[in-house]
């Protein structure tokens, strides 16, 4: 969950690398560092804190480099500190290395190296890699890598430089994203193509233990056996825009307010109004055969997992197809049974979620095709899935996912419509459904227009340390997502339950110091959720109800209400989630929390 950037070429190296690193700050912001060669001298600067702090120090030192590697860190081994920040060095101090990933056998390797008399100064697994490569180095860096890399267990991406190899960047990737950007008289290296997309669109992804030697004018790539190979170059098709908050206080708030457009983008070119059916023109290799599909398996983590859970309700309701939703980090260890006729859908905003990618590889090894839902062109999921539906939500900088979640749900709803039309749904009903989908962006905007009222209610409850969310049917996974948002950015202990499960334990936690947020906008279960509200009120807790506009039945029973436009039931979780994203945001703001970069979290979870 760290960001790597490297550059060699005609530009001002330090400035170029630091700008690239800033585009990767979503991947880690505990500490940052840079190392490079100036002539035959290796120079470096690293420290705890944000990239701006590193930039100030580098500028004050007047650092000038001919080529450089840089890193922004999210700690996995060793607390954030100057000494644990990357880069790390071999025993000679001539090799500098940055690393994303986890070395699973670092303790054993460290013990072996200590027996050889090698001293360690950090708590990181990265230092073990540098010291190991340095131990085997005898003038030939490729030969040292050929000996050292097979000893490392885990997934990782590495970038390194060596005093005795001026003009060269060395890159290694094993099941962790690392991309080469090919320019004219310049070469880039990054964990995310967006970091160099404003300079070049020509990309070579590394994978499967491949090693690359990069200069400003040449690229040599070797397989895991260090045999030279040719790799296909890809042309990126993505927006180029430096992230900016505009007039908003935080990226997270800006991205919440971008959701009407995100929903429009997700719907674009995916609806055949005449036939009342969803279409997926991006499917070029694998036809989406509705008659073949007998069941769905959705694999995801975190917010994407919640999107999959909500979709499971809508697909089963509309298309009458059984759906299984699996947390990717658990799925890969359970010896899964996947039946013929299963369509597998893997969801990851970044396309780099390590557990989701591992699950995808497991599924593909069993011979099943995979559809990816992703927001990032050139990502690992986009390359490894048989087909990819891009969310087109635009860059999402805030760590907690907002507009990407809305886009995921919109696309999954389109998939529900596609499957339903080939089974249960008539053409006329499909046409009506599409009309309701087209209303979604404006309905989201109507919720955003209530931001002042949502902020007022949020401030009322911002002092609480515990909040409960309940929902029934497809509003239960919507409650899970709302609780996750509140946890992520306000650090409140928020938990979600199916309404009917309160009596099976959670009710013991309810007290007059509690807030219950009840997601009531689901007519078939409204009476039952009313009963659950009464159970909580009897224990003295306050209740905030999320209701359809015009709902009068709860006025006398709850302290506060937030209203969403009336819509078809399967679309309600999208609108409910938008309201509760704002609720979480304003609570976090009132509490003074770090909203865009919450403590202990990173945007792209690229380690297991």
Instruction: List the catalytic residues.
Output: 2, 603
Dihedral over Cα of 336, 304, 397, 187: its sign: positive
On the 0-12 / 13-18 / 19+ scale of CB atoms within 10 A, 508 is exposed
Helix, strand or coil, per DSSP, at residue 285: coil
Beta bridge partners of 166: none
Q: Are 282 and 388 in contact (CB under 8 A)?
A: yes
On the 0-12 / 13-18 / 19+ scale of CB atoms within 10 A, 227 is exposed
Specify the long-range contacts of residues 333-340, CB closer than 8 Å, at least 24 apart: 336/362, 336/363, 338/297, 338/363, 338/366, 338/368, 339/294, 339/295, 340/294
Checking DSSP bridges between strand 210-214 and strand 202-206, what pairing results, if any? unpaired
State the Cα–Cα distance between residues 523 and 525, nearest whole angstrom. 5
Helices (DSSP H) in 327-402: which residue ranges?
328-331, 354-365, 380-384
State the Cα–Cα distance between residues 195 and 192, nearest whole angstrom. 6
State the Cα–Cα distance between residues 570 and 486, nearest whole angstrom. 23
CA atoms within 13 A on the CB side of 335: 0
Give the pair of three-digit tokens for residue 442.
């404006």
Q: Are 32 and 70 in contact (CB under 8 A)?
A: yes
Report the length, in residues, of the chain.
608
CB-CB neighbours of 459 under 10 Å: 14
Greatest Cα-to-Cα distance within the chain, rounded to the nearest angstrom: 80
Q: Are 261 and 441 in contact (CB under 8 A)?
A: yes
The CA dihedral of 550, 552, 554, 556, to the nearest 10 degrees, is 130
CA atoms within 13 A on the CB side of 522: 27
Instruction: Quickly list DSSP for 25-52.
Output: GGG--SEEEEEEEETTEEEEEEEES-HH
State the Cα–Cα distance between residues 608 and 604, nearest whole angstrom. 11
Q: Are 543 and 537 in contact (CB under 8 A)?
A: yes
CA distances from 382 to 8, 186, 323, 346, 379 (A): 27, 26, 23, 10, 5
> Any idea what DSSP says for residue 139?
S
Give the pair of three-digit tokens for residue 94.
């001539």
CA distances from 214 to 91, 181, 236, 407 (A): 24, 10, 20, 37
State the Cα–Cα distance between residues 131 and 97, nearest whole angstrom. 10
Helix, strand or coil, per DSSP, at residue 489: helix
Residue with tokens 């995921």: 408
């Amino acid at each position: 969950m760290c960001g790597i950037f490297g550059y060699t070429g005609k530009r001002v190296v330090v400035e170029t690398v630091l700008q690239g690193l800033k585009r990767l700050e979503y991947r880690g912001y505990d500490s940052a560092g840079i190392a490079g060669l100036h002539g035959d001298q290796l120079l470096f600067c690293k420290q705890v804190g944000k990239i701006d702090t590193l930039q100030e120090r580098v500028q004050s030192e007047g650092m000038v480099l001919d080529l450089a590697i840089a890193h922004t860190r999210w700690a996995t081994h060793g607390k954030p500190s100057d000494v644990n920040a990357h880069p790390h060095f071999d025993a000679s101090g001539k090799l500098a290395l940055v690393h994303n990933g986890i070395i699973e056998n670092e303790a054993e390797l460290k013990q072996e190296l200590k027996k050889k008399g090698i001293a360690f100064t950090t708590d990181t697994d990265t230092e073990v890699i540098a010291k190991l490569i340095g131990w085997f180095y005898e003038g030939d860096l490729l030969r040292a890598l050929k000996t050292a890399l097979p000893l490392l267990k885990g997934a990782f991406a590495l970038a390194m430089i060596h005093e005795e190899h001026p003009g060269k960047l060395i890159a290694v990737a094993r099941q962790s994203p690392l991309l080469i950007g090919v320019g004219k008289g310049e070469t880039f290296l990054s964990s995310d193509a967006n970091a160099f997309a404003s300079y070049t669109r020509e990309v070579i992804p590394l994978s499967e233990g491949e090693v690359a030697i990069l200069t400003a004018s040449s690229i040599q790539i070797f397989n895991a056996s260090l045999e030279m190979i040719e790799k296909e170059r890809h042309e990126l098709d993505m927006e180029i825009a430096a992230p900016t908050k505009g007039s908003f206080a935080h990226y997270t708030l800006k991205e919440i307010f971008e959701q009407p457009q995100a929903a429009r983008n997700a719907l674009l070119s995916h609806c055949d109004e005449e036939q009342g059916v969803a279409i997926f023109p991006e499917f070029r290799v694998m036809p989406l055969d509705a008659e073949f599909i007998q069941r769905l398996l959705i694999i995801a983590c975190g917010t994407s997992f919640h999107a999959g859970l909500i979709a499971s309700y809508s697909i089963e309701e509309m298309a009458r197809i059984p759906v299984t939703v699996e947390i990717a980090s658990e799925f890969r260890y359970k010896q899964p049974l996947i039946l013929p006729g299963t369509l597998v859908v893997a969801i990851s905003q970044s396309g780099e979620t390590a557990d989701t990618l591992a699950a995808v590889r497991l599924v593909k090894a069993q011979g099943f095709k995979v559809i990816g839902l992703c927001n990032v062109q050139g990502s690992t999921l986009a390359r490894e899935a048989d087909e990819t539906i891009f969310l087109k939500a635009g860059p999402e900088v805030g760590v907690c996912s907002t507009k990407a979640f809305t886009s995921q749900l919109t696309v999954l709803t389109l998939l529900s419509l596609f499957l339903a039309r080939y089974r249960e749904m008539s053409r006329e009903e499909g046409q009506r459904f599409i009309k309701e989908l087209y209303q979604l962006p404006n309905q989201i905007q109507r919720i955003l227009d209530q931001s002042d009222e949502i902020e007022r209610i949020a401030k009322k409850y911002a002092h609480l340390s515990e909040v409960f969310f309940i929902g029934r049917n497809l509003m239960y996974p919507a409650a899970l997502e709302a609780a996750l948002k509140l946890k992520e950015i306000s650090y409140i202990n928020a938990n979600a339950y199916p309404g009917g499960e309160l009596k099976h334990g959670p009710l013991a936690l309810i007290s007059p110091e509690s807030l219950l947020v009840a997601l009531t906008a689901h007519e078939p279960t409204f009476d039952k959720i009313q009963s659950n509200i009464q159970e909580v009120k009897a224990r003295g807790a306050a209740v905030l109800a999320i209701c359809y506009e015009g709902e009068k039945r709860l006025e006398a029973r709850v302290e506060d209400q937030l209203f969403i436009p009336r819509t078809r039931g399967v679309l309600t979780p999208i609108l409910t989630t938008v309201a509760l994203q704002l609720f979480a945001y304003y609570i976090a703001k009132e509490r003074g929390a770090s909203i865009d970069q919450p403590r202990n979290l990173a945007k792209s979870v690229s380690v297991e």
